[in-house]
Structure 1
């Protein structure tokens, strides 16, 4: 019991320290750990990995954790970028990874739920890949999928639902890739020690390497946090003050440099994979969620985990509508109204029930008074988290467009 309490306190202190460079001026930084401030607030232009690759890290961003068996390299990143945008990575050659992760939409797709290459609908929306290098777990609710290299296998070969639709087509996939002249050089440069670099393991390593470079921290709010008082409006400042305060308690699940409590990086010794129930549903009066979307419960079988999902990053949140794991809230205004109400009361359709009374709901989702001015201030703050440079950065763009 004591170890559990100590671990929880330490993890909270680490999150509080990571929050330091991003809190508004109205929050006294003296209340934050001096050691944590020193750790995260130093400017870092580039950070070299063991393989010699230099991450271009913004101020306040720690070094991402990179698997020992897949050190970063420029060649892998470039190969991964080509693969990410290549429709040959789907069975019927109609979709690529970028079909569900569009750069202009902060690497989401604008749909309530993902649609696979055969038209089959995924039960959940496509999560943003922005800053995915820092994600301790991947997908909305899986506590076990922790490596990008492993996660790539699901959209490539999964059948329930079909995404890219390559089940039983690995040989066909590599026939296609070998036939593309560019890939001969790209695979050889990325994996120079392999007699035959055209392997599934190398393909997923390259995809993972590219995705780890999708780092975003060039928003107006980042400039404000770095000292540019004019970077955001007075309305956005008021919204930030409320966001980081104890009335709304938004920062508990969406704090730190990622604006998410789910974060991992080099030097982090605690498992900060977090999942929360935010009161979207209660279809049986005892906390049940729709059967196709039970969240963490699907993996643990624990009733208390029903409806728990990973808090997504709020960076670029204005671009990633619709919202929630199932895309059931269309606008940011709707999201704010949901949290102000302390959850959602579904009054019609197959999932009728009062999510506000869900017994598994997070203690931080308790509702608050919100007038039109506060709503406008919160919207202004959330919109200030948009990194416009990310949306057209050529490092992340489609290399197949001539």
Structure 2
């Protein structure tokens, strides 16, 4: 198909308008994230993914949803060192916060292969190391459960018209990923300060920012305060970290740098949850922070809390679906 100059300009305007609409709809701003070609965004898909995120039918015995471990008021972490699975298998690593995932890769503490939200969802739903939601081999049962609900049937049909109403596991994880891409946190005092609102940070927090830039920003860098690389910050413990995947002794005890947005509400810290407080986590890094510098540094870390993100009703447990109360 060939276009004249006017046709090309109109097409470019339409594409630009659609992209701008998506940025606005999902609060992506100017930096739209990469979206898989087989999972384009849509409002109905996000609505479906949000409902699935809070649905315990995604676990073998109906006791665990994604939100069981990812609580909004903890920035979608959960406040525990680790979290047991649906069948009481012990948790292995600290539950990470979920924000700005659309731009993050890799996604987990120590597995660089988990580079997309669609793939990562299966670690929790189908995974066996550790067993979390315990649905390995039960994909057909999951489809059956969801298919009993006429609202789910309607949402899947609208979100995935190419599937002609069929509910399958691949579309479950696509919907979850679409919802997770909307979990955008950019409303902290630090964000406002970086945008030019110089009074957004207290004088103490500004002092702490100076210390942070000097001592911490080498790894906690960029818009989400992570370099997304793997580091060792202390003695190697029982968890091999990245070496479990790479099989390299040099990678023993290496874990991906966590982002620090909303860090004040995501305790405990580190890959094993062994640091009960931010001060403990800083000490675990071997940082020789002077006692006078610690209160300002903690004040800066507190300024990374986005209270609007923690209470945004668009991310909360849905109270209705398909126009009816749940």
TM-score (norm 2): 0.89
Q: Which of 288, 308, 315 is matched with 1:396 structurally?
A: 315
The structure carrying a bigger helix percent of its residues is 2
Say if 2:224 is the partner of 1:278. no
Partner in structure 2 of residue 207 of structure 1: 176
> What is the correspondence of 1:371-386 to structure 2 with a 5 Å cutoff?
371=291, 373-386=292-305
Say whether the 8 Å CA contact 1:82–1:400 is kept in structure 2.
Answer: no
- Equivalent of 2:208 in 233, 239, 242: 239
Q: Secondary structure of the equivalent of 2:255?
A: coil
Whole-angstrom CA distance in 1 between matches of 2:27 and 2:150: 30
Does the Cα contact within 8 Å between 1:336 and 1:375 map onto a contact in 2?
A: no
The runs of at least 4 consecutive aligned structure 1 residues that moved more than 6 Å come to: none
Question: Measured at CA, do residues 155 and 239 of structure 1 come closer, stay the same or move farther in structure 2, by a change above 3 Å?
Answer: same
- Does structure 1 residue 56 correspond to structure 2 residue 39? no
Note the alpha carbon deviations across 1:10-48, whole angstroms, 9 max, x for none. xxxxxxxxxxxxxxxxxxxxxxxxxxxxxxxxxxxx985
Whole-angstrom CA distance in 2 between matches of 1:169 and 1:276: 36
Q: Which residue does 1:318 correspond to in 2?
A: 264
Q: Note if 1:370 corresponds to 2:290.
A: yes
For residue 178 of structure 1, report the CA deviation from its aligned partner.
Answer: 0.9
C-alpha change, 1:78 and 1:381, in structure 2 (3 Å) is same
121, 138, 142: which is aligned to 1:152?
121
Structure-2 change in CA distance of 1:369 and 1:90 (3 Å): closer
Deviations 1:306-329 (A, max 9, x none): 111110110000011000000011
CA distance in 2, matches of 1:64, 1:198: 27
Superposed CA deviations along residues 70-124 of structure 1, whole A, max 9, x for unmatched, are 1111111111001000011111001100001111100001110122111211210
The answer to whether 1:333 aligns with 2:283 is no
Aligned partner of 1:307 among 237, 240, 253: 253
Does the 8 Å contact 2:153/2:165 carry over to 1?
no
Query: Which whole-Å CA distance do the structure 1 matches of 2:17 and 2:117 have between them?
Result: 20
Shift of 1:388: 0.3
Aligned to 2:162, the other structure's residue is in SS state coil
**1:150-203 alpha-carbon deviations (Å, 9 max, x no partner):** 111121112232111112222221111011121111111101222233011111
Q: Which moved more, 1:207-216 or 1:48-57?
A: 48-57
Q: CA RMSD in A?
A: 1.9
Residue in structure 1 matching 2:223, options 257, 261, 274: 257
Matched residues in 2 for 1:187 and 1:51: separation? 23
Alpha-carbon contact 1:47-1:63 (below 8 Å) kept: no
Cα distance, 1:133 vs. partner? 1.0
What 5-or-longer segments of structure 2 have no aligned partner?
1-15
Unaligned ranges ≥5, structure 1: 1-45, 263-273, 282-287, 343-366
Q: CA deviation at 1:400?
A: 4.2
- Please say if residues 81 and 399 of structure 1, whose CA atoms lie closer than 8 Å, have aligned partners that are also in contact: yes
Mapped partners of 1:51, 1:196: distance in 2: 27
Q: Distance in 2 between matches of 1:333 and 1:82?
A: 37
Query: What CA deviation, in whole Å up to 9, does each residue of 1:279-305 have, x standing for no partner?
Result: 1x2xxxxxx431xx1111111111111
**Aligned partners of 1:325, 1:337: CA distance in 2, in Å?**
15
The C-alpha deviation readout for 1:123-159, integer Å capped at 9, x for no partner, is 1011111111111112100011111111111211122
Conserved in 1, the CA contact under 8 Å of 2:224 and 2:259?
yes
**TM alignment of 1:68-79, pairs within 5 A:** 68-79=37-48
- SS of structure 2 residue aligned to 1:230: helix
SS at match of 2:198: coil
- Count residues with an aligned counterpart: 305
Q: CA deviation at 1:277?
A: 0.7
Alignment match, 2:70: 101
